[in-house]
Amino acid sequence: MEHHALINNTTRVKESNTQLILSTIKKLGTATRNEIARSLSMVTQLGISMLAPLILCVCVGIWLDDTFGWSTTAVLVVLGIMAGARNTWMLAQQVGLPRQKRRKKDEKTDQ
């Protein structure tokens, strides 16, 4: 009996937490929701820009190993990591520059 009561209480807490989150999101302004969506898409884009070269290099390395007998997978993994890091860095720089310009502009208007 106590086990079922505990499960029911846990379910009620989860439902109330979900309702609280949904009501908080509804209270947020459209600008805030857009900012959250933009941030989520940026995180996704950063992840993809890091993983795509790595996966491509691993696939090419495995293919070269199977086709020609060359053991290049480890070298291509390192190359993929470096290419992914460069892509992520370049993307982060592009995202960071407009924010820095906005901050400088805001600082000038505050003075």
> What is the per-residue pLDDT across 46-57, written as a single tens digit (0 to 9) for each?
899 999 999 999
Sign of CA dihedral 76, 81, 85, 91: positive
pLDDT given at position 102: 63
Tokens of 92: 């982060």
pLDDT given at position 12: 65
What pLDDT digit, counting tens, does each position of 51-79 carry? 999 999 999 999 999 999 888 889 999 99
What is the pTM for the complete model shown?
Answer: 0.58
pLDDT given at position 5: 54
pLDDT bracket for residue 110 (50, 70, 90) = low
